[in-house]
Amino acid sequence: MTFRPQPLGLAAARVPRADTQQGESLSHRSTILGQASARPRLRPAAPAVALGLGLLVLALVGAPRARAEDPLPGFDGYPPVDSIAMARADSVAAAEVRAMVGTFPAAPGDTSRPAVEYLWVVRGTLVERGGIERLVERAKAMRVRGLLVQVVGRGDAWYRSDILPRPEALPDTTRDPLGELLPLAHAAGLEVHAWMNCCLVWSAPQPPRTRRHVMHEHPEWVARLRDGRSMARLTARERQRLRVEGVFLSPAHPAVRSWIANIAREIASRYDVDGIHLDYIRQPIVPIGNDPTSRAQFALHAGADPLEFARLPAGERARMDSAWAIFQRDQVTAIVREVRDSVNAVRPGLPLSAAVLADTLAALRHNRQAWCAWLREGLLDRAFPMCYAPPVQTVLSQLAIMSEQVGTDRLVPGIAVYNTPPSSAAAKIKGARALGFPAVALYSYDSLWERSDRWPRLLAFVNGPHGPLEARP
């Protein structure tokens, strides 16, 4: 099956260079909105979209910021909210969305285009062949363009691999979930992108049973915290307190970069996938880097040991802290570059995408994820910003800023459905359409179909005007 980039402009799209350096942030809302005339303009869809964006900006300038971090089901990184109060606040943003619906490529009530283009599919759907068959049947009925299917979960392979062990949840050694899915999906006209978790390799309370797991084979690759402890030694309660998703590998270890790149190469060379999709291509939110390899690499680079920063004079310490942040960012970028080279070696032109944090200030400061630069440099063909914040206003603010500073052709906003009612998710989708984003993804297929009525309700809200937002999912 041939990947179809034309609708998103992948072949010819150019990402405008920002006025700032790699450390620019889409979160600097007041600065960006105050200098809108200096930013790249949306394409001439034009007066109507510009007017809609203006209405949206007026509604959002005073809106409080919320974190936009990568959530897990049941652990979404957001403070508890009153669902009724949130729905009332969202009604303001929803009113602005309704004011912009006249700029949609498809008018309200017109079902000529799909409600969404991509679905993230979590690995649990692959456990049984029947789940794969239902996935294809439903995705075809939803008229989506493609599936981002999790085939590398927690350091394990939901495909036939010589590098990774089989998942503990898949005891049947004769199964090849990716091999089963591809012919069914392609026959239905669906793209399949292989979703890989990169630096995150484990999250269960107990360690992996198989000795083939990377945590057992290469404990020296596991990231270490500021106190020197390996992340593999954290208890489930400590992970929750620190707000980390699990055990991460150290991006600064050259062998880690090669390991991740070889996994991508193995998938691309063995399977007729339509793209490679990277996730957890970042550091955890907690400071890491106290492993011997990271310290030695930085010492060669900058002539200092990160463990000794506290002993330096204030000015020198600030300089070293900045150099350390840049160094760590470059290590994550090096993984993306090596994956790109490895995939190109076996499948030239195979699209490479990544799920990225929607708040780029947090991404750079805490997770060393410079995804805007990855797009500019051509390391990624497309980025899927994870706009998972429950409030509609937060997501629309992120989308408005991204559309102005990064453009829309190579961004696919990811909208969560697991933590928000269908009407709120629909308002976010409509806002993305009005701002010129040609495609939208949902996280996730699995959450969407937990309840049989969730997709019909979402579809009804997307395809037609509606009243006040619901209070509950």
**pLDDT number for residue 171:** 85
In this structure, of 16-20, 108-112, 135-139, the range with the lowest mean pLDDT score is 16-20
**pLDDT number for residue 2:** 34
The answer to whether residue 195 scores a pLDDT higher than 70 is yes
Q: Write down the mean pLDDT value for the chain.
A: 81
Q: If you average pLDDT over residues 214-234, what whole number do you get? A: 95
8-state DSSP, 384: E
**pLDDT number for residue 72:** 38
Crossing angle between the packed helical segments 392-405 and 83-100, to the nearest 10 degrees:
40
**pLDDT number for residue 226:** 87
pTM comes to 0.80
The H or E element containing residue 137 is: helix 129-142
Distance CA 239, CA 235 (A): 6
Residues in the chain, overall count? 473
Residue 300 burial by CB count (10 A; 0-12/13-18/19+): exposed, middle or buried?
exposed
**pLDDT number for residue 62:** 31
Cβ-based neighbour number of residue 175 at 10 Å: 19
Distance CA 191, CA 5 (A): 11
The predicted-structure confidence for 321-348, as pLDDT tens digits, reads as follows: 999 999 999 999 999 999 999 999 999 9
Q: Which residues contact 282 (CB under 8 A, 6 or more apart)?
A: 199, 332, 357, 363, 367, 368, 369
Q: How far is CA 75 from CA 235, 251, 277, 341, 370, in A?
A: 16, 24, 23, 34, 24
Q: Higher model confidence: residue 112 or residue 32?
A: 112
**Confidence class for position 402, pLDDT limits 50, 70, 90:** confident
Distance CA 145, CA 185 (A): 10
The answer to whether residue 80 scores a pLDDT higher than 80 is no
The answer to whether residue 389 scores a pLDDT higher than 90 is yes
Burial 40-65 (b: 16+ CB within 10 A, else e): eebeeeeeebeebbebbbebbeebee
**Confidence class for position 301, pLDDT limits 50, 70, 90:** confident
Distance CA 46, CA 171 (A): 55
